[in-house]
């Protein structure tokens, strides 16, 4: 007879994440961020009072994975949609989940004005420096000399301007309360992101203003790398230009 | 009925929205309808409503999407160029089947155009406007009284069919002052729809508001659902006013401000013994095809009068279907036709038919 082994269950997927296959490519950061976000929603016990807004981009189907009420916004309009929701349901938790094209190109106007109004919402901003869903065109955050299908000779300043540090821009606005840049390319960074999301929801409960969490992420498929190569490239190229850490934190006396 | 007040069309519309239980308004200033936002910024806020001056019409219509999706009764207003900016959002709202009220106080175009009244957005309002197969329910007021009345009707129709409703007015109706009487209306009867994203409780599945149906078969199904709804709307919601059409030899067809001018022309012609009737559509979608087709059996010809280059005339020709001649008279770019213009047109038509 075989020896019985009693194992303690130390981890399971959050119940706020639906048990379905995701459409994301192997190694993509989206799946991890979805899971972390839903873990926080579960741990805070706010599933019944959280409404998410999905963007246009690779995460357009975010609502297929998150077991909460959600709305799908037009490209770039997620924070306007979230503003509409939050204004009529001010005591609910509202977040947008947006990519770099959605937030920093077509939706720049909405992003800045939502932040400037100090809307009490959280934006999770996935920056992977490329348009994933449309298979690899230049993003506003594409690095200089980075090759994409629309910058086949590399992004050049003369033609395409500079990679947009929109998170730094938002941090300057008085309506923005908490602005931070995180990543999910190592387990340690995943843990830090989780803390940041929990903090942002806490601030939303206290009606402190707009919270923005940029997640510097990868795109193995369109960067044309293996997941491991992509994470290494992210560390060597993305992080020097988009350094991790808090860009705006609440004044000390306000923190409870 | 309630108190009688003297108000601008834009203000009467705004006041009606508050009385109809509009919970949130999102808009951006544009002439000739900025009074709506101004009026609501004071009156609606004081009475507990939500008013937000957005950074653009693009943002406004997407705020409407979010708030309507969250179950609130919501409205936005604008004028022609601003309504053009909203078209993407309106298409999404129509596909996601969100009830809301959109008001277009039309001005002359194309382009930046003029701030004077026009009816040149008829095609945009009634045939789609944005991308994809969809329709708004379109109401066309012709007085300050109807600017108010159609707000109540518009909100109710939007809820009844889970469909965006447009009030298609013009700069003159928005700016003119007339007496208006607000009807008794109890907005507390409206309940939050079961499909709204108000937070997923344990007793129900999550609610999703979307216009994305990536599988073509599912997208086709969504289109079929919409088309069935539009067919039902066409069957049950056609509204029009018919003035002295029973004995008429000639029928004037006009809506909104043009219909009022036609009414004056009709009176002048009747004085001279010319038997002229007036058919005024109150709903531009659904359109009163049936009554026009029936009238075609009895009259000599039709004259369609619009403040544009000839848009609604196409629907009249569809309705009449070749049975009789359908003539057109229009003024463009913010110019308003006079009753005498119309009398002259009828006199010309009488000579040839």
Domain residue spans of chain A: 30-250
Residue B199 located in a structural domain:
no
Mean per-residue pLDDT, A16-23: 96
pLDDT at position A253: 63
Residue B63 located in a structural domain:
yes
Quote the mean pLDDT of chain A: 96
pLDDT at position B76: 98
> Under an 8 A CB cutoff, do B63 and A81 touch?
yes
Q: How far apart are CA B73 and CA B187, in angstroms?
A: 10
Same domain, B64 and B156: yes
> Under an 8 A CB cutoff, do B50 and A69 touch?
no
Please report residues of A whose CB lies closer than 8 A to that of B198: 51, 69, 89, 92
pLDDT at position A251: 83
Residue B171 has pLDDT above 90, yes or no: yes
pTM surpassing 0.95? yes
Q: How far apart are CA B50 and CA A61, in angstroms?
A: 30
CATH number of the domain at B299, please. Answer: 3.40.50.920
> Under an 8 A CB cutoff, do A84 and B198 touch?
no
Nearest to B177 by CA among B150, B149, B204, B145: B145
H/E stretch holding A72 reads strand A69-72
Confidence band (pLDDT; 50, 70, 90) for A30? very high
Same domain, B150 and B251: no
Alpha helices in A67-123, H assignment, sequence order: 78-88, 100-101, 108-117
pLDDT at position A4: 75
> Under an 8 A CB cutoff, do B56 and A109 touch?
yes
Please report residues of A whose CB lies closer than 8 A to that of B28: none
- Establish, for the pair of chains A and B, how many residue pairs have beta carbons separated by less than 8 Å: 126
> Under an 8 A CB cutoff, do A53 and B66 touch?
yes
CA distance A69 to chain B (A): 5
Same domain, B257 and B311: yes
Nearest to B269 by CA among B340, B330, B324, B337: B340
pLDDT at position A252: 79
> Under an 8 A CB cutoff, do A84 and B211 touch?
no
B107 DSSP 8-state letter = B
Same domain, B178 and B282: no
Residue B297 located in a structural domain:
yes
Same domain, B24 and B78: yes
Residue B203 located in a structural domain:
no
Using DSSP, state whether B170 is helix, strand or coil: strand
> Under an 8 A CB cutoff, do A85 and B26 touch?
no
Residue B223 has pLDDT above 90, yes or no: yes
Residue B202 located in a structural domain:
no
Confidence band (pLDDT; 50, 70, 90) for B129? very high
Same domain, B35 and B63: yes
> Under an 8 A CB cutoff, do A85 and B88 touch?
no
Please report residues of A whose CB lies closer than 8 A to that of B49: none
Residue B204 has pLDDT above 90, yes or no: yes
What share of chain B has pLDDT > 70, as a percent? 99
Mean per-residue pLDDT, B89-111: 98
Nearest to B72 by CA among B24, B15, B37: B24
Closest residue to B69, CB basis, from A74, A85, A87: A85
> Under an 8 A CB cutoff, do A80 and B66 touch?
yes
Which of A81, A84, A113, A123 is best to mutate for the B interface (most B CBs within 10 A)?
Answer: A84
Mean per-residue pLDDT, A187-210: 98
Q: Are B17 and B27 in contact (CB under 8 A)?
A: no
pLDDT at position B344: 98
> Under an 8 A CB cutoff, do B65 and A84 touch?
yes
Q: Which residues contact A185 (CB under 8 A, 6 or more apart)?
A: A29, A216, A217, A218, A231, A234, A235
Domain coverage including residue B300: 240-352
pLDDT at position B302: 98
Same domain, B93 and B226: yes
Same domain, B266 and B180: no
Token representation of residue B336? 């308003």
Number of domains present in the structure of chain B: 2
Same domain, B175 and B231: yes
> Under an 8 A CB cutoff, do B92 and A74 touch?
yes
Q: Which residues contact B231 (CB under 8 A, 6 or more apart)?
A: none
Q: pLDDT tens digit string along B280-303?
A: 999 999 999 999 999 999 999 999
Q: For residue B286, what are the CA distances in angstroms to B102, B129, B166?
A: 16, 15, 12
Closest residue to A84, CB basis, from B63, B88, B208: B63
Q: pLDDT tens digit string along A66-117?
A: 999 999 999 999 999 999 999 999 999 999 999 999 999 999 999 999 999 9
Residue A34 has pLDDT above 70, yes or no: yes
Say which CATH class A30-250 falls into. Answer: alpha beta
Same domain, B310 and B185: no
CA distance B2 to chain A (A): 29
Residue B14 located in a structural domain:
yes
Q: For residue A102, what are the CA distances in angstroms to A94, A140, B133, B199?
A: 18, 10, 25, 24
Give the chain A residue whose CA is nearest to the CA of B73: A88
Residue B200 located in a structural domain:
no
Check: complex ipTM more than 0.90: yes
Residue A255 has pLDDT above 60, yes or no: no
CA distance B97 to chain A (A): 12
Quote the mean pLDDT of chain B: 97
Q: Are B112 and B337 in contact (CB under 8 A)?
A: no
Q: How far apart are CA B64 and CA B72, in angstroms?
A: 9
pLDDT at position B185: 96
CATH number of the domain at B181, please. Answer: 3.40.50.970
Please report residues of A whose CB lies closer than 8 A to that of B206: 63, 67-70
CA distance B93 to chain A (A): 10
Closest residue to B52, CB basis, from A69, A87, A110: A87
């Amino acid at each position: 007879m075989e020896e019985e082994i009693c194992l303690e269950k130390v981890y399971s997927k959050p119940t706020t994440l639906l048990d379905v296959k995701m459409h994301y490519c192997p190694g993509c950061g989206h799946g991890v961020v979805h899971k972390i976000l839903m873990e926080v929603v579960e741990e805070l016990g706010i599933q019944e009072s959280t409404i998410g807004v999905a963007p246009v981009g690779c995460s357009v189907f975010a609502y297929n994975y998150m077991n909460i009420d959600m709305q799908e916004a037009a490209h770039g309009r997620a924070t306007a949609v979230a503003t509409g929701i939050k204004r009529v349901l001010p005591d609910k938790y509202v977040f947008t989940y947006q990519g770099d094209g959605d937030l920093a190109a077509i939706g720049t106007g909405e992003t800045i004005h939502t932040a400037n109004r100090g809307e009490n919402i959280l934006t999770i901003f996935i920056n992977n420096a490329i348009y994933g869903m449309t298979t690899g065109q230049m993003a506003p955050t594409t690095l200089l000399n980075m090759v994409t299908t629309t910058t086949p000779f590399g992004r050049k300043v003369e033609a395409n301007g500079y990679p947009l540090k929109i998170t730094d821009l938002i941090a300057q606005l008085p309506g923005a309360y908490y602005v931070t840049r995180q990543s999910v390319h190592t387990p340690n960074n995943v843990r830090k992101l989780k803390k940041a999301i929990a903090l942002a929801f806490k601030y939303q409960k206290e009606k402190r203003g707009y919270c923005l969490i940029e997640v510097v992420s990868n795109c193995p498929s369109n960067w044309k790398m293996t997941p491991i190569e992509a994470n290494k490239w992210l560390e060597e190229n993305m992080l020097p230009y988009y350094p991790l850490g808090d860009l705006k934190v609440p004044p000390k006396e306000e923190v409870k | 009925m309630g108190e009688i007040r003297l108000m601008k069309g834009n203000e009467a519309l705004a006041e009606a929205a508050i009385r109809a239980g509009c919970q949130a308004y999102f808009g951006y200033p544009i002439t000739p309808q900025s009074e709506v936002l101004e009026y609501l910024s004071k009156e609606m806020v004081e009475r507990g409503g939500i008013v937000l001056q957005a950074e653009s019409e693009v943002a406004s219509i997407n705020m409407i999407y979010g708030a309507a999706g969250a179950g609130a009764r919501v409205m936005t207003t604008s004028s022609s160029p601003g309504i053009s900016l909203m078209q993407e959002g309106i298409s999404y709202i129509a596909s996601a089947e969100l009830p809301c009220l959109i008001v277009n106080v039309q001005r002359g175009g194309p382009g930046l155009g003029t701030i004077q009244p026009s009816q040149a957005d008829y095609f945009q309002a009634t045939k789609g406007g944005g991308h994809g197969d969809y329709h708004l329910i379109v109401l066309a007021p012709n007085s300050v009284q109807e600017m108010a009345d159609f707000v109540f009707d518009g909100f109710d129709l939007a809820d009844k069919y889970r469909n965006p409703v447009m009030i298609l007015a013009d700069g003159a109706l928005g700016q003119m002052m007339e007496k208006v009487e607000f009807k008794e209306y109890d907005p507390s009867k409206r309940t939050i729809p079961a499909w709204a994203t108000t937070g997923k409780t344990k007793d129900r599945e999550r609610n999703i508001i979307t216009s994305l149906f990536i599988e073509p078969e599912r997208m086709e199904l969504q289109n079929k659902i919409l088309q069935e709804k539009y067919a039902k709307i066409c069957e049950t919601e056609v509204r029009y006013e018919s003035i002295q059409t029973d004995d008429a030899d000639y029928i004037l067809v006009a809506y909104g401000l043009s219909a009022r001018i036609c009414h004056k022309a009709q009176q002048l012609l009747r004085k001279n013994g010319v038997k002229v009737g007036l058919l005024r559509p109150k709903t531009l979608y659904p359109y009163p095809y049936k009554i026009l087709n029936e009238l075609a059996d009895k009259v000599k010809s039709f004259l369609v009068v619009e403040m544009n280059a000839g848009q609604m005339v196409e629907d009249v020709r569809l309705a009449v279907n070749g049975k009789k001649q359908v003539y057109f008279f229009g003024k463009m770019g913010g110019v308003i036709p006079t009753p005498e213009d119309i009398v002259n047109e009828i006199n010309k038509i009488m000579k040839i038919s």
